[in-house]
């Protein structure tokens, strides 16, 4: 069974204070690791997909990296508008073909 | 495109009543997913369809839950009878297919917040 664990559960940063969110996963054959952002009262919004160890993707102040056991979402010089819950999910060969298994998320708060 | 449209946004019902949640996926998307989100368990996949056919319903918690997709533009998730432990946010998502994962992933609706009292 695919498993995804995210840490920390919550993170409070000052504006401009860079940090990283962690996503550890256990799958039998990774087809993709996904990062989503979720704002209160809304559905998750797609950020990145990573496929193989060593791969990196960037979007504005966010950079996602992938190893064989975990992924990191690095946030550089965050702003208050980056406050949200960040979700990690995996798709695996044994996961039914096209379904995502999500972690419980990291709730990020960026303060002025 | 208006995105994935779910209705209602909020539903409050009494225990034992039937609840029907609705979803309109993005036109042209062949995959439709129903997820449930709670604080304790996060996002859990309930069922997904490909070209209107249910592919994996292993996440449907009990026989009280049923889902249908009568055509490419409409799906329902029904709970009968509802119980307080069914209280959660229910999300519908759609996807063109796994070949678009690189750039799009899934597109989620805004969810239906269900409260069973």
**Residue A94: what pLDDT?**
74
Touching check for A91 and chain B: CB below 8 Å?
A: yes
**Residue A95: what pLDDT?**
58
Touching check for B10 and chain A: CB below 8 Å?
A: no
Q: Is the pLDDT at A96 greater than 70, yes or no? A: no
Mean pLDDT, residues A3-27 taken together = 97
**Residue A1: what pLDDT?**
85
Q: 């208050």: which residue's tokens?
A: A80
Q: Which residues neighbour A106 within 8 Å (Cβ) at sequence distance 6 or greater?
A: A6, A7, A8, A9, A10, A11, A21, A85, A86
Q: Is the pLDDT at B10 greater than 80, yes or no? A: yes
Q: Is the pLDDT at A74 greater than 90, yes or no? A: yes
Show residues of chain B in contact with A103, CB under 8 Å: 42
Mean pLDDT, residues A62-81 taken together = 97
Mean pLDDT, residues B11-39 taken together = 96
Of B79, B41, B75, B73, the residue nearest B60 (C-alpha): B79
Of A71, A67, A75, A78, the residue nearest A35 (C-alpha): A71
Q: Is the pLDDT at A104 greater than 90, yes or no? A: yes
Bond from prior residue into B81 cis (ω within 30 degrees of 0): yes
Chain B CA closest to residue A88: B43
Q: Is the pLDDT at B99 greater than 90, yes or no? A: no
Task: State the average pLDDT for chain A.
Answer: 94
The B residues from 24 to 63 touching A (CB cutoff 8 Å) are 31, 33, 35, 41-45, 48, 50, 55-56, 58
**Residue B29: what pLDDT?**
94
| A60 phi/psi in degrees, rounded to 5 | 55, -115
Give the range among A27-31, A40-44, B72-76, B112-116 with minimum mean pLDDT.
Answer: A27-31
Percentage, residues of chain B above pLDDT 70: 99
Residue B36 vs residue B100, higher pLDDT: B36
Of B45, B91, B95, the CB nearest to A43: B91
The tokens describing A14, both together, are 């000052």
Cα gap A20→A49, rounded to integer Å? 17
Touching check for A56 and chain B: CB below 8 Å?
A: no
Task: State the average pLDDT for chain B.
Answer: 94
Mean pLDDT, residues B31-58 taken together = 94
Q: Is the pLDDT at A12 greater than 90, yes or no? A: yes
Mean pLDDT, residues B63-74 taken together = 96
Label residue B1 exposed, middle or buried (CB < 10 Å: 0-12, 13-18, 19+): exposed
**Residue A93: what pLDDT?**
82
């Amino acid at each position: 069974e695919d498993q995804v664990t995210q840490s920390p559960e919550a993170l409070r940063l000052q504006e401009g204070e860079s940090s990283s969110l962690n996503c550890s996963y256990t799958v039998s054959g990774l087809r993709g690791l996904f990062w989503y952002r979720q704002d209160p009262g809304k559905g998750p919004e797609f950020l990145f997909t990573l496929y193989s160890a060593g791969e990196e993707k960037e979007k504005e102040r966010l950079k996602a990296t992938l190893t064989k056991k975990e992924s990191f979402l690095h946030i550089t010089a965050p702003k208050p508008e980056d406050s949200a819950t960040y979700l990690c999910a995996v798709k695996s060969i044994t996961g039914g073909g096209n379904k995502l298994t999500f972690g419980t998320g990291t709730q990020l708060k960026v303060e002025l | 495109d208006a995105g994935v449209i779910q209705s209602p946004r909020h539903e409050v019902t009494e225990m034992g009543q039937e609840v029907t949640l609705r979803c309109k996926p993005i036109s042209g998307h062949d995959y439709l997913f129903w997820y449930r989100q709670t604080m304790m368990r996060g996002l859990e996949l309930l069922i997904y369809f490909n070209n209107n056919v249910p592919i994996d319903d292993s996440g449907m918690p009990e026989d009280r839950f049923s889902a249908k997709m009568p055509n490419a533009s409409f799906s329902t998730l029904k709970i009968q009878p509802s119980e307080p432990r069914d209280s959660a946010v229910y999300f519908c998502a759609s996807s063109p297919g796994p070949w678009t994962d690189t750039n799009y992933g899934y597109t989620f609706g805004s969810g239906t917040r269900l409260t069973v009292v």
